[in-house]
Amino acid sequence: VKEVARLIKEANKHNAVAKTIDGFEVELIRGSAKSRKRLLDLDGWELLTLHIDTILELPKRLARECGVPAEEISEGIKSESIQSCGVLEIWLKHFNNNVHHPVILVPGSAHYSWQKAAAIIGIGSAHVRKVPLDLWGRMDTTALGKMVEDCFQSRTPIMSIVAVCGTTEEGAVDPIDFVVQMRETYRRKGFDFWIHVDGAYGGYLTSMVRQDWEMPPVSSVEGPLISHAAYVPQDKTVVSQHVYQQLKAVRDVDSISVDPHKVRAILT
Ligand SMILES: Cc1ncc(COP(=O)(O)O)c(C=O)c1O
């Protein structure tokens, strides 16, 4: 998703997306100032740090405002994608003078499949940066804050921050709510990143919350552990205050992966 704006710009250069998008503008946020700029004039840094929602709405807006059908966009961007060009061509062509190589931030506890995936798709396992953990085995918020600020200052796009909901070894749940809040702060500076929750191990718990997410406020629940009818199986599922708050924050992230079979194996 982070790549879509760049892909559309490239596809337009090669006539794969109609010239009618010449005057098409997107919103840029820089501090308290909001401005509009032609999509075709955005540089590499701007393309990779656009607000996620701005990127997601591009196909619909292009269809509505420029009459470019969604199929034309998805066809047009295929030839510019990492899958067709390879990462090397993309970075040599577009980004080496303007921005640093993008990174993915994961907690020190992340499953080894993250490095594997980064290696396979060509981002490179060395660009998966590990955030140190706190004594609870969760992503350390101070360290994360510093790493994000370093990326911002050095013009290193963050493709995604991964927060784990149930680490493989410890079952620890990262501070998802903190990551969401931090993203809001950086969005106001014009620096956006995707948030993914790796709930392969513990994410299924999220789907066990009932009552359309109308969970009671944490302050109304006493004690360090919560057993509440909002969960199924009722009164048997107990989660900590921390987990409770993180499950609530999952609705504000961009994607989540869940392996329901893993929880089933534990429950039965
Ligand atoms: C937290 C976490 N993420 C990712 C994975 C990888 O999941 P899969 O085996 O579905 O690729 C696992 C597997 O145990 C995991 O525990």
Average pLDDT, the chain: 83
User: Comparing C-alpha atoms, which of 116, 131, 126, 111 is closest to residue 179?
Assistant: 131
Cβ–ligand 1 distance for 130 under 6 Å, the answer no
Choose the weakest-confidence range: 22-36, 127-141, 177-191, 237-251: 237-251
- Residue-level pLDDT at 94: 67
Q: What is the dihedral of CA 29, 48, 140, 246, to 10 degrees?
A: 70
- Residue-level pLDDT at 268: 38
Q: Which residue do the tokens 């059908």 mark?
A: 69
Choose the weakest-confidence range: 20-29, 175-184, 236-245, 256-265: 236-245
pTM of the model: 0.82
The tens digit of pLDDT for each residue in 6-35 reads 888 878 877 767 778 888 999 998 777 788
- CA 81 to centroid of ligand 1, rounded, Å: 26
Cβ-in-10-Å burial (0-12, 13-18, 19+) of 264 comes to exposed
Write out the two tokens for 152: 């911002």
Q: Which residue do the tokens 């927060």 mark?
A: 163
Cβ–ligand 1 distance for 176 under 6 Å, the answer no
DSSP 172-207: -B--HHHHHHHHHHHHTTT---EEEEEETTTTHHHH
Cβ–ligand 1 distance for 117 under 6 Å, the answer no
Percent of all residues in the chain with a pLDDT value above 90, rounded to a whole number:
42
